[in-house]
Homo-oligomer: A and B are copies of this chain.
Amino acid sequence: MPKNYLLTPGPTPLPPQVCEAMARPIIHHRTPQFQNILKEASDGLRYVFQTKGDVFILASSGTGAMEAAVVNLLSKGDTAVCIEGGKFGERWTELCRGYEINTEVVKVEWGKAVDTSVIKETLKNNPKIKVVFATLCETSTGVTNDIKALGEVVKETKAVLVVDAISGLGAIDLKTDGWSCDVVVSGSQKGLMLPPGLGFISVSAKAWKLIEESKSPRYYFDLKKAKKAADKTDTPFTPAINLIIGLCEALKIIKGVGLENVFARHKKMADATRAAAGALGLELFAPTASSDVVTAIRAPEGIDGEKLVKTMRDTYGVTIAGGQAELKGKVFRIAHMGYIEEFDIILGISCLEKVLHQMGYKFTLGTGIKAAEEVFLK
């Protein structure tokens, strides 16, 4: 079996101290010992979310946290805007429809960021809209949306802004309070450098008012239960203890480096990946809004993107992501998020060069690497 290298947009590789922490003998969750850990984790999350408000930890994947947002904020028959610019934007719509929420879907061309003026207009035309569901980084297309601009528009209305920051939180800037994001949801297996299994959700004062009104049935994801427990440094149901212990280690790393430096590192890796793609004559899928956490690259003519990804993974052990849904075979995605560093990007590009060469794509070996190295030397 080849040695494994992970360059995927979730899960991302794990720092060794996180692995070690998760492997410690387990402790009981209804103890002062665990309460200290829960407090440390919650404080650290507030730092990463850039909020002074509530952040809750759920034992679920990110989709569970998305469901928590929908069922706590809205009731059957309510109206919400869902911004759909990829597979994860579509998830908001699916979730809302599952709970019989009326959805005004704002379709965004895949590979483009949402045009904030369209949302402004939509909100103006329909004062019934209670929630705007957005996506920070649309992992399926490699696009980062301008959440700051969206926050400026939504805060002037009665609606609350909900951001899926599963991909991106702790890797690119997202000011929950500063940008008026009322609810931010995230997951553990991306910028936070943990295995999947934890969902996170922040709640603003404006969002709490909607939560008080919501009649959607809920139990496991009931944020009022979460709040009541959190006020006693507890959780309503058994928490995912060892993942939360790992979370404390990951948060220590992020705090130690400092958020600004973390963001700068991600930007540099993204710049290097984009430069390498350009130097290899490859086209970015999202040239105008390319995300700093994952780069989607079009498979060049005559190259099957799916075969490229499979060969890199199964023959050489370098796992990147293929295209999802309508992009299957047409794009491949290199992640540079979480515990991924400069030389991981270098090895990924080297493997890409190798397989592109073997598949008959014409280019000069090493040109992608050279372009990346130039960025890293800056």
* A residues with CB within 8 A of B: 4, 6, 8, 10-11, 13-14, 19-20, 22-29, 31-32, 59-64, 67, 70, 76, 94-95, 98-100, 187, 189, 195-197, 216-222, 237-243, 313-314, 319
Contacts and interface: CB of A to CB of B under 8 A. Distances in A.
Contact of A23 (B23, B76, B241): B23
Closest 7 CB pairs of A and B: A197-B240, A23-B23, A195-B242, A19-B23, A98-B219, A63-B237, A196-B238
Nearest to A10: B238
12 contacts: A6-B25, A6-B28, A20-B23, A22-B23, A31-B313, A59-B59, A67-B219, A67-B220, A98-B217, A98-B218, A220-B221, A240-B240
A59 B60 CA distance: 5
B217 A217 contact: yes
Chain B CB count within 10 A is highest, among A22, A24, A59, A218, for A59
A223 to B, nearest CB: 13
Contact of A25 (B13, B62, B70, B196): B13
Given A6-B27, A100-B217, A216-B217, 9 more contacts: A22-B23, A32-B314, A59-B59, A62-B238, A67-B220, A189-B238, A189-B241, A195-B240, A195-B243
Q: Is the interface of A mostly helix, strand, loop or mixed?
A: loop
A238 B61 contact: yes
A189 B238 CA distance: 9
A11 B139 CA distance: 35
A275 to B, nearest CB: 25
Contact of A22 (B22, B221, B239): B22
A196 B59 contact: yes
